[in-house]
Amino acid sequence: MQLKNLVDQIATLYSRGYQVIIVSSGAIAAGIEGLGLKARPKDIPSLQAAASVGQGLLIHEYATLFSRHNLKVGQVLLTQYDITHRQQYLNSRNALKKLLKMGIVPIVNENDATAVDEIKFGDNDTLAALVANLVNADILILLSDIEGLYTADPKRADKVSLIPEVKDITPEIEELAGGIGSRFGSGGMATKIQAARIATFAQVGMFIANGRGENVLIDVMDRKEVGTFFVPRKKKLSGHKLWIAFGKVTAGSVIVDDGAAKALISSGKSLLPAGVVGSKGNFHEGDAVDIKDLRGRVFAKGITNYSSEEVNQIKGLKSSEVIEKFPDNNISEEVIHRDCLVILR
């Protein structure tokens, strides 16, 4: 009934002229039921087999429900590879936009039948935000089992209130969500806050709302007071920089001194060797790296012109000294050029 309710609402939005993309989960669960398994498999091949069966069952259910509204659906299965590699990124964007232009409802799911831990998104919130960025969406609506972001965990605290609007994702906001863990968080509200960071950087407004509401999608588009709204940033990033910030997986990090951090944030300059104090991880030229301050806080991300080994050789040096150190190489003056660097905070 809940799936039918959502499909009915989306059909209504299509009749009003909106274009909607669905990022859906449930392929593995559908496959487990379809195969008559008594429990969720623990080994990867069995999970992939369940997903393979479940994806067909899930898309069939969507197709059946949308056909009652004379709407067709198209399945788009993505892995992190499709987002992190530039050509695949553009191919995915073109496919989604073509489906929308043809009046077809795209049903996006992670390709659990082939994805393994190394290339999995890990949660649908992140996937949805990346898809919203991919197609330059106007609004991203994440449906949850609660109304939105509260001043405290409503399942544990008595006196809580819904936060109707978030203008800036501060450390305090992250703390309300339980904190952002490694890379994309581990689930629940933390992943939704990370999704909000991706969406708002892409100038996409994002709602967290209760998916069990009878007309939740209609209410959001009718601008009724529903859930928590995350205000998109006013400053627009280029598509290339958005891909660097959120589409490309980091391979390590570069640590800079306070002077370099200030120059990068306030002046939009390139990162020079003189401001680097070290690196972490094993990365190569052309990899994406986090840029951290002396307190270990990530404040930027970029594409490095040097490997981790080379960074440690040139850290703290002036540009002229770097040239002297590598006289026979066609080297760059910048560790990260400003055109390939994104300030995240």
Average pLDDT, the chain: 86
- Token representation of residue 84: 């992190």
pLDDT confidence of residue 122 = 57
pLDDT confidence of residue 178 = 67
What pLDDT, in 10s, does the model give residues 187-222?
478 889 989 988 998 899 999 999 988 899 999 999
User: Topology of domain 249-343, per CATH?
Assistant: 2.30.130
What pLDDT, in 10s, does the model give residues 311-340?
999 999 998 888 777 776 667 889 999 999
At 185, the pLDDT band (50, 70, 90 cuts) reads very low
Q: Which is more confidently placed, 202 or 254?
A: 254
Domain segments of the chain as ranges: 2-240, 249-343
What pLDDT, in 10s, does the model give residues 89-122?
888 999 999 999 999 999 998 876 555 444 355 5
Q: What is the CATH number of domain 2-240?
A: 3.40.1160.10
pLDDT of 41 over the 90 cut: no
Q: Please tell me if the domain spanning 2-240 has the same topology as the one spanning 249-343.
A: no
Average pLDDT on 31-39 reads 85
pTM: predicted TM-score of the whole model, two decimal places: 0.78
